[in-house]
Structure 1
């Protein structure tokens, strides 16, 4: 009994499957789909963060410039920042800190000691200092809350928190809440005179 080559091949369908390319494209697409989606979502997340940073910087700079003129209240200055950011995040996720200093060099630094009785370079009871933010107490940060007086240095610190717009926190383990902060300093216009801070001892 003899078998032809054609009949022999038809009796072994598995050999035909080895050469069959049907569905290969779908399998290849399935293999690259997840990495491709992660890359796309990462770019979207990064782009959104850059956009929020740009809006935050612009809003804070605008508010600081308006504040240096001296004809706006604290609430009005804060509202400039809220107006710029609330299309993106809610107002309750925006934290605004404003302080004024006498000089740029004094930002974030303690009030100046003028009579250090034991010469240790730090404040001790009985020492004397320049009470820059006139509250009668020596402060390790000489800043005064609010927008200050004419020719003062105005310091802004604005912090925002918002949720990511993409599921990157679940895909890559990133935190779901993003925190961004910006600081800026500007000197108030000399729209009026200002007195000299007093020397205080105690």
Structure 2
């Protein structure tokens, strides 16, 4: 009887499938998750490019919410439960984007230390690692417009020790239309 059971192959396929099914299911869901993330990124970047073009027009100064709503609508068409947040930072020139305020490096350590002199370019009286002012800015200003999308993963990520929330970010940098003269920015040296 034992010998006959050892050579019996009935039901082997069901047992093999039961062993392989979880890995196969994770592979299929993982592929779906990656594809959805790539599609969502493409939609987000396309919406950001269009919103960026729209936001540089003179009439956009009063319709910033409408531009944000356009991006949010495009994203939520793909991921209905997504949370979309926005930020706008403006600069005088493209070369200023994401650059720190100049400072005098007294101890030559390559970073700003309290008490060192710096050029306050954004009028907040503190040294900043980015010279930007918040908001859309004015005529001829360069704007860094960023959208961050947070959404729940379709995979049970917490079971794997990972965060169940996924995040995508897209930015566009454009110059506002020259509908008037660009406002001058004061740069004041502050020491101590």
- Name the TM-score class by shorter chain: 0.7 to 0.9
Q: Is 2:131 the partner of 1:142?
A: yes
1:200 CA drift (Å): 4.1
TM superposition score normalised by structure 1 = 0.74
What are structure 2's unaligned runs of at least 5 residues?
none
1:158 CA drift (Å): 1.7
**Which residue number in structure 2 is paired with residue 15 of structure 1?**
3
Cα distance between partner residues in 2 of 1:164 and 1:124: 42
SS in 1 for 2:169: strand
Number of aligned residues: 183
1:90 CA drift (Å): 4.1
What are structure 1's unaligned runs of at least 5 residues?
1-12
1:32 CA drift (Å): 1.2
RMSD (Å), alpha carbons: 3.1
Q: C-alpha offsets along residues 28-85 of structure 1, whole Å, 9 cap, x if unaligned?
A: 2112111111111111111121122122212222111111122112212211222212
CA change 1:18–1:189 in 2 (3 A) is same
**Which residue number in structure 2 is paired with residue 51 of structure 1?**
39
1:136 CA drift (Å): 6.7
Q: C-alpha offsets along residues 101-126 of structure 1, whole Å, 9 cap, x if unaligned?
A: 0111111234567xx7x9x997999x
TM superposition score normalised by structure 2 = 0.78
- Rg bigger for which structure? 1
Residues 136 and 200 of structure 1 are in contact (CA less than 8 Å); yes or no, is this contact kept in structure 2? no
Pick from 21, 24, 27: which aligns with 1:39?
27
Pick from 93, 99, 109: which aligns with 2:99?
109
**Which residue number in structure 1 is paired with residue 182 of structure 2?**
194
Q: C-alpha offsets along residues 126-178 of structure 1, whole Å, 9 cap, x if unaligned?
A: x785x654x474552321222112221110122221111222432x3321111
Cα distance between partner residues in 1 of 2:33 and 2:187: 53
Cα distance between partner residues in 2 of 1:31 and 1:182: 41
**Which residue number in structure 2 is paired with residue 158 of structure 1?**
147
1:100 CA drift (Å): 0.9
